[in-house]
Amino acid sequence: MSFKRAHAVGALWASFSGSYLVPKPGDAPSVFVRRVNKLIELGVGVPAERRTGKIGTDQEYEPADVLEIGVGLSLMNAGVPQREARDILVAYRNTIRPHLDRALAQALPPKETIILVLKPRGFPQSQKIRELRKDKLRSVPAFPFYEPKVIWGSAVTWKQFAADLSGRERELILIGLHDLAAVVSQYLKDAPPVRRGRQ
């Protein structure tokens, strides 16, 4: 099943607004809509082979597309620059997307969760990497993050994961996928109708 952009924005705003009321398409503030639109323009959400590329043609969004945009918003909220969030999601789409599909399709047992784990490659702040690039230090890698991991499990799993970390490995970005997937899935399931027109 696919949806229009207004549905996608509504589902994402339902996830990030923290409101107990289910928002309607058009409720999201303009600054939030612009952030979503920019991520889409940069290539987040719909893979290139499924983009219409035609002016005036409605782009359809699958639930996993919407969830991927939500992960991009979460990365930005965690301090990752917009274009680097795009780079992560596009470069590692084949790693991340199967977990997004599974998170949307599979109900988790109580007290279990899904976490996307990102580890900076050498430095915890991308700004430092950019500064070193200016000095033409060839030893600095071009991409600032290692391939992400997605961990499914309970509190016991996470305690073991934390116990195994040491040194630089503690500089991680963790993005929760379970609640985001649950809200996106439920909103799209009950999505109100959207007026016809370009989305």
Q: pLDDT tens digits for 23-59?
A: 666 788 999 999 999 999 999 999 988 888 766 678 8
Q: How confident is the model at residue 112 (pLDDT cuts 50, 70, 90)?
A: confident
**Euclidean distance between CA atoms 57 and 101, whole angstroms:** 26
Residue at 198 is within a domain: no
Predicted TM-score (pTM) of this structure: 0.81
Residue at 197 is within a domain: no
Residue at 196 is within a domain: no
Residue at 144 is within a domain: yes
* SS3 assignment, position 153: strand
Q: Residue 101 belongs to what domain range?
A: 5-189
* In contact, 124 and 81? CB cutoff 8 Å: no
The pLDDT mean for the chain works out to 81
Residue at 194 is within a domain: no
Residue at 199 is within a domain: no
Number of domains in the chain: 1
Residue with the two structure tokens 């990365």: 75
Q: What is the mean pLDDT of residues 93-109?
A: 90
63 CB burial (10 A radius; 0-12, 13-18, 19+) = buried
